Amino acid sequence: MLGRRTLIMGIVNITPDSFSDGGRFFGTQAAVEHGLALAAAGAEIIDVGGESTRPFSDPVSADEETRRVVPVIEQLAAKLSIPISIDTTKSEVARQALAAGAAIVNDVSALRLDPAMGPLAASQGVPVILMHMLGTPKTMQVKPDYRDVVAEVRGFLAEAIARAEAQGIDRSRIVVDPGIGFGKTFAHNLLLLQQLAAFQELNVPLLVGVSRKAFIRNLLKPADAKDIPADLPVVEAGSLAAASAAVLNGAHILRVHDVAGTRAALTVIDAIRQAV
């Protein structure tokens, strides 16, 4: 699936409290229509999630998460030829999502929160995305601290790869994500993007998600404002800048909200990368 063109993963949040869209796609039909629109705009993967992982968010039950995502995945899988990923930390949700047509497991806990997740992915032979997160979404932004954020995140991901392989997941099916915004300060996020090339030594594809995140909004907000809405055009511009930096520093896949804008930016970025 990976080649000369950077891949785009389009985000479908089926939650009432998403930081990025305020629950606009919480209903099944709205979520399906959004997923189809993202695919039409150029996404190569659609990422469906039914539990918010924004800072300080509360978890939802596996039953509720399944109720949100499975009908959407079933309808998208029937209409799309591109892969659908299930964004979950729960093996039961992943199992039902895979049965409904999902083809990738995107686990922000890197197989740590549910011991059955790794064996499930191995038995199904599906790719897994392993992300670095400090703690849980509820606690990750409570004074995150590192001696060397790049080295520690890289070390965590190396251990996550080894853990996945030990559970029977082939290395060729592993993707890693440094977890921008998940247990990091604004400075940590900037350093990770600046030094993203350090993760190439892991020898697996690298996914990066920077779209609309708080460190971008913090850089762009007026000095007297606490925050600005995540879907402002200026935030999209900042997201494209961060995404472009990520690709120039080695990212293979971008997880984004604005697929059309990202595809346009990547057409230029990929051309620059490959110029001879």
Q: What is the pLDDT of residue 31?
A: 94
Q: State yes or no: is 213 an active-site residue.
A: yes
Q: What is the pLDDT of residue 20?
A: 47
CA-closest candidate to residue 9, choices 177, 163, 121, 164: 177
**Residue type at position 197:** A
Q: Which of 95, 212, 255, 263 is catalytic?
A: 255
Q: Which residue has the higher pLDDT, 147 or 25?
A: 147
pLDDT for 142 beyond 90: no
Q: Is 136 helix (H, G, I), strand (E, B) or coil?
A: coil
Of 14-23, 145-154, 230-239, least confident by mean pLDDT is 14-23
d(CA 90, CA 94): 6
| 194 band by pLDDT with thresholds 50, 70 and 90 | very high
- 218-234 confidence digits (pLDDT tens): 999 999 999 999 999 99
Q: State yes or no: is 24 an active-site residue.
A: no
DSSP letter string, 48-107: EESS--STTPPP--HHHHHHHHHHHHHHHHHH-SS-EEEE-S-HHHHHHHHHHT--EEEE
Among positive and negative, which fits the CA dihedral 96, 102, 108, 114? positive
- By the 8 A CB rule, do 217 and 241 touch? no
pLDDT for 252 beyond 60: yes
Cα-based distances in Å from 236 to 63, 95, 191, 213, 227 = 34, 34, 20, 10, 15
What is the residue-averaged pLDDT of the chain? 92
- By the 8 A CB rule, do 256 and 263 touch? no
Of 133-137, 163-167, 232-236, 269-273, least confident by mean pLDDT is 133-137
**Which residues make Cβ contacts (< 8 Å) with residue 133, sequence separation at least 6?**
108, 109, 110, 140, 179, 182, 183
- By the 8 A CB rule, do 214 and 16 touch? no
pLDDT for 59 beyond 90: no
d(CA 26, CA 210): 22
d(CA 181, CA 214): 7
% pLDDT > 90, the chain: 84
pLDDT for 276 beyond 90: no
Q: Which domains does the chain have, with CATH numbers?
A: 7-273 (3.20.20.20)
User: What residues are paired with 7 via a beta bridge?
Assistant: 253
| Number of residues in the chain | 276
pLDDT for 158 beyond 50: yes
Radius of gyration of the chain (CA): 17
d(CA 215, CA 206): 20
- 6-43 confidence digits (pLDDT tens): 999 999 999 875 544 545 556 899 999 999 999 999 99
Q: Which of 95, 213, 217, 263 is catalytic?
A: 213
| Most confidently predicted of 11-25, 56-70, 140-154, 170-184 | 170-184
Q: What is the pLDDT of residue 1?
A: 46
pLDDT for 80 beyond 50: yes
Cα-based distances in Å from 221 to 48, 235, 238, 242 = 29, 9, 11, 16
| 53 band by pLDDT with thresholds 50, 70 and 90 | confident
- 90-140 confidence digits (pLDDT tens): 999 999 999 999 999 999 999 999 999 999 999 999 999 999 998 766 665
Q: Specify the pTM.
A: 0.92
